[in-house]
Amino acid sequence: MPALFRAALPLLAAATLAACASGSLTSPPSAWADARQLVLVTTADWDADHGQLRRYERADGEREWHLVGEASPVMVGRTGSAWGIGLHPMPIGGPQKREGDGRAPAGVFHIGTAFGYAADATTAWPYQAMQASDYCIDVSDSPLYNRIVNANAVGTAAVAGSTEPMRRDLHADGDQRYRWGFVIEHNPTHRAGAGSCIFAHLWKAPGETTAGCTAMAEPAMQQLLGWLQPTHKPVFVLLPLTEFGELRQAWGLPRLEGNR
C-alpha cells in the first residue's frame, strides 16, 4: 500500500464517521438525475405540521433548478414528518415513517397517478376518476396494502377495514379533500406497517393537518396539475429545513434563500 494512501486512511475514516453521525448519506442522486420538474415541500423541523411548497424546473442536461411561480402554504402530518421509503438513500437519524403515526414521509419520491371526483381533469399527467367503489388499503396485513383498488374488482371483503375511501364526498359527509390530488409514491414495495395511502390533496381548511398527506388550497393544486409533465419525470421532495441544508448539494436539490 503506498505510504500516501496509508497516511490518508485516518482522514477518510474520520470523514466517514462524521457523515454517519450527521445523519446524511451522500449517494449520488442517480434515481432522479433525469428529473426536470421538482415539487419541494420544506418544514421547520420534524415535528412541524405545516410548510411551504415550491415548484422548480430545469432544462434537459442542466444541473441548476429554477423556481416557478411563488411558494404556497401546505399542511402536512398532524405530528410532523419522518423518513419515508422512496428514491433516496435512507439517512441515519431522524424518525422513521410508520402506519398510523400521523407523520408525512420525508425524502424523494416518484409522483403517481392524479385522481379526483370529476370524469377528467385539465392536466397532461395521468389521471384517474375515482368511483364510490375505489379504496386505498391502509390495513397493514392486507395483500393489497398501500394500493388503490376497486371493490367491484377485488371484492368487498378485500376492502373491509380500510379507512381510505377515495370518494370521500360519498362516504364521509361530502368531504372535498380528494376532489383533486395525486399519489406520492411512498413505500412502493408495500412494506407492511411502513405507511400507506400518501397523497397530495386539497385541504379541508387552512391550518387543518392531515394523517400524513400534504394538503393545500385548490389554486395551488390546480397549478400543480396543470404544470406536471410526464416527459419531465417530476419528483416530489419533502424535507425539514435542517435536513434539506445538509443534503441539498449531495442530492442535487434546488437552492433556497439562506441554504447553501
Around Cβ 2, how many Cβ atoms within 10 Å? 7
So what's the pLDDT on residue 192? 98
Give the amino acid at 84. Answer: G
Cβ partners under 8 Å of residue 180, min gap 6: 114, 115, 116, 121, 201, 202, 218, 221, 222, 225
Backbone angles phi, psi at 157, to 5 degrees: -65, -30
Model confidence at 248: pLDDT above 90: yes
pLDDT per position as a tens digit, 207-246: 999 999 999 999 999 999 999 999 999 999 999 999 999 9
Looking at the chain, how many residues does it have?
Answer: 260
Q: What is the pTM of this model?
A: 0.88
- Mean of the per-residue pLDDT values of the chain: 89
So what's the pLDDT on residue 15? 35
So what's the pLDDT on residue 24? 41
Cβ burial 78-94 (10 Å sphere, 16+ → b, else e): ebbbbbbbbbbbebeee
**Calpha distance 72→100 (Å, rounded):** 26
Cβ partners under 8 Å of residue 256, min gap 6: 42, 241, 244, 248
So what's the pLDDT on residue 224? 98
The answer to whether residues 66 and 58 touch, using CB atoms and an 8 Å cutoff, is yes
Cβ burial 16-44 (10 Å sphere, 16+ → b, else e): eeebeeeebeeeebebbeebbbbbbbbbe
So what's the pLDDT on residue 203? 98
Model confidence at 5: pLDDT above 70: no
Q: How far is CA 114 from the centre of its chain?
A: 14
Report, as an integer, the average pLDDT of 160-184: 97
Q: What is the longest distance spanned by two Cα atoms in the chain?
A: 73
Strands 180-184 and 199-202: antiparallel
Instruction: Report which of 132, 142, 188 is spatially closest to residue 162, judged by C-alpha positions.
Output: 142
